[in-house]
Every structure is written in C-alpha cells, then in structure tokens.
Structure 1
C-alpha cells in the first residue's frame, strides 16, 4: 500500500478532519495531553508549527509536529516536537519514511540541522534515531514554572 504525507498548517483545508483522525495516534506519545486536542493543535499550528501525517488510504500511520527557527547553536534548526508511529505499525518503515520526508523538507527550507528531544525512558525510539544516523550532542534540562 502506498504511503503519502499530508503537510498541515493552521490554514490547511480539511485541518479539523485530519486532526480528529490524528488524535488517537498522537495520544500514544502524549497521553497526558488535556482534553480539547483539536483546539490545542489549532493553537500550536497557529503559532507556526507544522504537522505531517503519513497515511495509507487515509489511515494515519505516523505523525511529526515540527517547526523551524534560528538559534545561536546550530543555525537554522528544523525541530521535531513530536514523532510517533502507530504501535501496531512499528518496523513497517513509516518512521523512516517520515523522518526522511522531514529531512528533505528541512534541506529545502535551508535548515542546517534536524533536531529533536526524546525522553530518557524511550530506549526503542533512541535505537531508531541512532539507525537514522542521529547523534546525542546535548542534554536537555527542564524546570517547571509554577504559576501563582
């Protein structure tokens, strides 16, 4: 079955339909996301993020949320916020297809680096990233900011 990529932005036609279809897959990676997935994603896309969905005849197999921006460390950075493949479709090539698609897009945009962060508990994902010839070049630190 042929794979296709749908590249979505805030003003994309059929955005709501694709987001509704993507929610169960996205929640495989981010189960803690609050209710209101579609409106949250519309807000994030409205802030400049993009969403790529790999599908076969409309069945979503993998997704990537990403954005590009300049920084002082690696120039024009193509940053992948989320990358997830349907658990039942692991090792079917969807993740490789999507990351290759992202790399081609990043190259076309003039980006100098493709980056992502991955939780320390995600060993299987890390093996995949190493197979995709990605390297670990930094630690990511976080401090939660509590609001008054």
Structure 2
C-alpha cells in the first residue's frame, strides 16, 4: 500500500471511479477538467495505491481561518472504494493527510460528513476525530 499526492492527469483519472462513488453527480467526462480547475484554487488530491489500483482518494485544501489561530487542512472529500472497505486504506489515507497537514504547519484538520453517513462517522470517531460544530448551508 502506497499513499501519494495525485499530480498527473493519469493519476487524477485513476482515482476518478473511486471519487465518483462519493461524488456521483460529477460526470465522468467532466471530472479531470473540474479537478484541474479546483487545483488552480488550491485543491489537491492524494490516493492510496495497492496492486496498481486506487483504493482510496482524498481531496483537500490548506488555508487559514481566524478562529483556528493558524493554518488548517480542510478535507473536501474522502472516499474508499466500496469493494475495498475495512482493509486499512481509509486509515492510511487519513494518516497521510494528518502527516501532510503537520508538515505544512497546520494546527488543525477539518472535514464535513453528511449526516446520513453513519459508517463513515464511526470510522472518523475511531480515528480520533470529534464533532466540534454544526455546519449550516443554504442553496443560492
């Protein structure tokens, strides 16, 4: 198992099917252009590779907010291939994200998870994440 940042078009496309399990509304043919456009604004991706296949993928950003007292890593997306769950890929990816955040001087790691994702929440609690606030939104 190897975790690495996805930089090339081929690497980004290799993770597309796993990411689309979490984000199915992104059309397959638009995926690369969408990710590349987001990368212009600071979005990055990392993937867990095993036997030449992407088993898990995460999208993240690093930025500052006043209330954190420093930089934070915000995890936009964290998706493990549904056929590969409970094999350590999610943990390996989250460990890599935490290490990357520390290496970049971040004081916190944040992520939001839909209220319907009970199995994901169980994983996050097991990995030491806590519920620290509600996240509110409105459609515009």
With the length of structure 1 as denominator, give the TM-score of the two structures.
0.89
Matched, 1:80 2:75: yes
Shift of 1:6: 2.1
**Residue aligned with 2:15, SS:** helix
Pair 1:5 & 2:8 matched: no
Measured in 2, the distance between the counterparts of 1:89 and 1:124 equals 14
Q: Alignment length, in residue pairs?
A: 138
Task: Name the counterpart of 1:29.
Answer: 22
Between the aligned partners of 2:81 and 2:67, the Cα distance in structure 1 is 33
Q: In structure 1, how many angstroms separate the alpha carbons of the residues matched to 2:129 and 2:21?
A: 23
Residues 20-53 of structure 1 deviation map (CA, whole Å, 9 limit, x = unaligned): 2111111100111244111001101121111001
RMSD of equivalent CA atoms? 1.0
Which residue does the alignment assign to 2:9? 16
Structure 1, unaligned stretches of length 5 or more?
none
**4+ runs deviating over 2 angstroms:** none
Distance (Å, rounded) in 1 between the aligned partners of 2:4 and 2:105: 21
CA contact (8 A) 2:3 2:92 kept: no
Flag the structure with higher helix content.
2
Match of 2:106 among 100, 103, 111: 111
- Which consecutive residues of structure 2, in runs of 5 or more, have no partner in the other structure? none
